[in-house]
Amino acid sequence: MIPVQGLSGLRVAVLGLGRSGLAAARALRAGNAVPVCWDDNPPAREVAEAEGFECLDLARANAFDGIARLIVSPGIPHLYPAPNSVVVAALDAGVPVDNDIGLFFQSFATSEWDMFDVAPRVIAVTGSNGKSTTSALIHHILEHAGRNSQLAGNIGRGVLDIEPASNGGVVVLELSSYQTDLARSLTPDVAVFTNLSPDHLDRHAGMGGYFAAKRRLFAEGGPDRAVIGVDEQEGAFLAGQLSEGAVDDRVIRVSVDRKLGGPGWNVFARKGFLSEYRNGKQAASIDLRGVAGLPGAHNHQNACSAYAACRALAIAPRVIEAAFHSFAGLPHRSQTIGEKDGVRFVNDSKATNVDSAAKALTAFGSIRWICGGLEKEGGLEGLSGAVDTVRKAYVIGREAAGFAMQLKVEAEVCGTMAVAVARAIAEAEAGDVVLLAPAAASFDQYDSFEKRGDDFVALVRAHLG
């Protein structure tokens, strides 16, 4: 646990008592603050009370009298589309609003660091797609290299649940836009921006607000090194804002669209090969085509981002390459479940938006595509250039008929996962890939993308026998 510093003896309100909220309350108490907790869900309050936390309705009159700060869980809106009433009350009372990420960066460094031979480091990863895989891959490379590493944030453990810093240790954080948008302190040593595509637009009032939330990771604290995917205009703009000039190697530019030139520090992938260039000269090259855990161009982008972040910590290219080959990938992200009669089954339930689904589609040939769910803003037009290898779509979700009508491929309305998997199996031929890449959120039928992926996996494994 990371005890919270700077709030000793003060009453701190915690809104939302899920994983991050409870962890924040525990860390506040460990730092001698006095947590005052609330969740609209009675069972969540019962769990907190069982741990000895005081629960008081933060929506009541004068609730913020004597409160030093409000800590908000990431699922609770603080600005758009409309702020939670408790957040409004805190702001009206002049109480600062923060989250567990802000508390982490406020509290991670301690006086004990003076005794370390090698200072601990924090690598923070954000972006629209590939955050989880990039974060997990960085963590895997560090462990392969013999570095003490912890994985936390939006993946792994809660940021305040991890162990205190160790000599030379590295913390790898995956941070969503919800987390970066509100944190009052953001000071990673290495910050990674994978890419940007439309997502969570209602929460950020459009693309400008969404990009601004991601940009805070780089603007608030000024990382020592910034790894920036420059294939979208927002990434190119961000890299330009952070750089002092063409030779400024504090910015490492990443691309899977083109070869990057110039005298700076560049990492890019073309035709399955990762290349690192510094000062206009090639420093390393890795053949990614045989890396089973990183299939497709979107995973090559993840590989480039992870490679650059680890090179920023002076890990040798050949050590990184060896770690690539032992990386198994993450569940629900281009996860191969198995093969039968020449048909391969791949679970990419994490492809919850159009851009991530398009990248999954371009990673494979001859696809039987299971898609659909709760459609996000922006429609499905972004899929039109990625469906050339799709033989047929099998559409799930409560609005499956409307979803299917927007697709530029032959589509069958299936409704449920069971029907979609059965129909895809019945029609698949040797050489086909049955791919779950929904291009939609799961919440019309499932509690999470993980539950959706688990359903697909269970059905496929029953078929594999």
Give the pair of three-digit tokens for residue 250. Answer: 């504090």
The annotation status of 132 as a binding-site residue, yes or no, is: yes
- DSSP calls for 74-140: TTS-SSSS---HHHHHHHHTT--EE-HHHHHHHHS--GGGGG-SS--EEEEEESSSSHHHHHHHHHH
Q: Which two tokens stand for residue 258?
A: 């083109």
Bridge partners (DSSP) listed for residue 126 = 193
The verdict on whether residue 168 carries a ligand-binding annotation is: no
- On whether 350 is known to bind a ligand per the annotation, the reply is no
Q: How far is CA 95 from CA 9, 61, 63, 73, 388, in A?
A: 16, 15, 11, 16, 54
Q: Does residue 336 have a known ligand-binding role?
A: no
Annotation-wise, does 366 bind a ligand? no
131 among annotated binding-site residues: yes
| Angle in degrees, 0-180, between the axes of helices 317-325 and 131-144, rounded to the nearest 10 | 110
Amino acid letter at 178? Answer: Y
Q: Are 218 and 242 in contact (CB under 8 A)?
A: yes
The encoded tokens of residue 41 equal 């869900």
Phi, psi (rounded to 5 degrees) for 266:
-130, 140
389 known member of a binding site: no
**What residue numbers does the annotated binding site cover?**
127-133
**What residue numbers does the annotated binding site for ATP cover?**
127-133
